[in-house]
Amino acid sequence: MRQFLVLFLTVIFTLFSCQEEKNTYTLEGDAVGFAEGTEIFVNTFKNKQTKVIDTLVVKDGKFSGTYPNDNTIKLNFLRTNEANGTVLYFPEKENMKAVLYKDSMQASVVTGGKQNKTYTEFNAKMNEFNKRKEASIAAFRKAQQENDAVAAAKVQSENLNLMGEETEYKKEFLSKTEKSLFTIMLIAEMVSRGEISVKDAQKYMSDLSPELEATDMAKELKEKLEAMGNAEIGVKAPEFSAPSPDGKNIALSETLGKYTIIDFWASWCRPCRVENPNVVKVYKKYHDKGLNIISVSLDRAEQRDKWLQAIVDDEMDWYHVSNLQFWDDPIAKKYNVRSIPATFLLDENGIIIDKNLRGAALEAKIGSLLGD
């Protein structure tokens, strides 16, 4: 009887232990260089904001916490007031091990689970590329100091090849790696830096799991890619209409010439105001040959008078519209404009043929199209 009771208790204990292990995961860490009692904050991203979900305390150079498992795909990070930087990690229903270095949060790492493994491997490769870039920069400066133009040109060429090599590694990584929150982050970074096209980014995003599809990060990137795709070179510029200075609505289709520039700017934008004289020069030179311009201002409602005065002061004698909604302007969102000045060059059919031309490049392009 006693043996049966012992066996029964053992089975029950084992079952409860397995259940506990299944429903939770632990995060254990070494805090290298941190003082006793240092607080380590465990953060997560929720509703586009960060939230502290736990505070761990360093004791004898270590810290630990236990957290419930769920089916939500998450991105967490560790930080402390005692050092600059954060350490990303991805909870995956597996126990994890962290090593935090006070003198180098960048070198700190969290291991455990597929995503953390691929993220760590990717960062190690990027560190290799960064070291090669640093060596390239040092070689270029040395060549400049020695006035060695041949060596400087060679280093520049090698650096371009290095950048291409890095981009190809990232593309290969995206092609071969199972999609995760980290790969979505990488896709977003690469498309924003122009390392991949919108079409390529959408292709990488086409085979996400239902769980990944449901994340805010995936939804936001897909929306951004759709907006970017609407204003890519080679596509028809999205139609819009907005109030002009006299209060009448003007549509893009009403302003098209042989070539048309859509110019996003604002009276408060200094780089825009600096660029305006060059745009005025190009307009005066080529308007009679078929160049039209429609400027979309991102001024606020209370800045209406400043918008109108800036048009006069900068001699911008062409079409103007504004919803006076600052960065909430629906036209700017439709064209995925995140900074100004921003320009889109259209042909007579409203097809975008170039983007963000400024200064001499703008004049040269229009000159090549309409002749000097």
Top pLDDT among 49 and 133 is at: 133
Instruction: Look at the block and give the residue holding tokens 């920069």.
Output: 137
What are the tens digits of pLDDT across the range 10-24? Answer: 444 444 444 444 689
**Which residues make Cβ contacts (< 8 Å) with residue 126, sequence separation at least 6?**
166
Domains in the chain: ranges and CATH:
23-111 (2.60.40.10), 116-230 (no CATH), 241-370 (3.40.30.10)
Give the pLDDT of residue 237.
94
Give the pLDDT of residue 19.
43
Range in 16-20, 26-30, 260-264, 278-282 the model is least confident about: 16-20
Give the pLDDT of residue 48.
72
User: Cβ(91)–Cβ(110) under 8 Å?
Assistant: no
Query: 195: closest CA among 170, 228, 222, 219?
Result: 170
User: Residue 49's pLDDT band (boundaries 50, 70, 90)?
Assistant: confident
Residue 87 has pLDDT above 70, yes or no: yes
User: Cβ(99)–Cβ(78) under 8 Å?
Assistant: no
The pTM assigned to this predicted structure is 0.68
- Calpha distance 40→36 (Å, rounded): 11
User: Cβ(336)–Cβ(228) under 8 Å?
Assistant: yes
Q: Looking at residues 277-306, what average pLDDT do you find?
A: 96
What are the tens digits of pLDDT across the range 312-362? Answer: 999 999 999 999 999 999 999 999 898 999 999 999 999 999 999 998 999
Express as a percent the part of the chain with pLDDT over 70: 94
User: Residue 372's pLDDT band (boundaries 50, 70, 90)?
Assistant: low
What strands, in cross-sheet order, belong to the sheet with 83-89? 49-57, 39-46, 76-80, 83-89
Neighbouring C-beta atoms of residue 215, cutoff 10 Å: 19
Prior bond to 341 cis, omega within 30? yes
- Calpha distance 183→204 (Å, rounded): 9
- Calpha distance 365→261 (Å, rounded): 12
